[in-house]
Amino acid sequence: MEDVVAEWLDGQGRAPARDELARAVRISLRALARAAPGATVEVRVPPFAAVQCVAGPKHTRGIPPNVVETDPRTWLELATGRLTWTAALAQGRVAASGSRADVSEWLPLIDRHGTAG
């Protein structure tokens, strides 16, 4: 993860440019898809990206039965361990619907210094 994004997540430095933020979200979502391969859960971080992950029944049409959606900052805080899944849910910062929509098993994906876990 780029230093500017990590510093922003820590409440220091400037806000990242849109392309820097988008890159960090996409890289971390790809890491989730590698860590939890499958197509049972769709994780959405608008406006930048969405991935399907987690082994199990695959949906083929319409709205997926298991969806996680959050904003870029919250996703990156989850991905780097700055925020726990439980806290994000309790604070209403992540919406998770469906019986398999809990992706906490694979978090954090990247340590606070930007190294993939």
Domains of the chain with CATH codes = 3-106 (3.30.1050.40)
Model confidence at 93, pLDDT cuts 50, 70, 90, reads very high
pTM of the model: 0.90
What pLDDT is stored for residue 20 in this prediction?
97
* Residue 26: other Cβ atoms inside 10 A: 14
pLDDT, tens digit (0-9, with 9 covering 90-100), for 7-56: 999 999 899 999 999 999 999 999 999 999 999 999 999 999 999 999 98
Cα 38 to chain center, whole Å? 16
Q: Helices 18-35 and 72-79 sit at what angle, rounded to 10 degrees?
A: 50
d(CA 65, CA 9): 31
pLDDT at residue 25, as a whole number: 97
Q: What is the pLDDT of residues 74-90, one digit of tens each?
A: 999 999 999 999 999 99
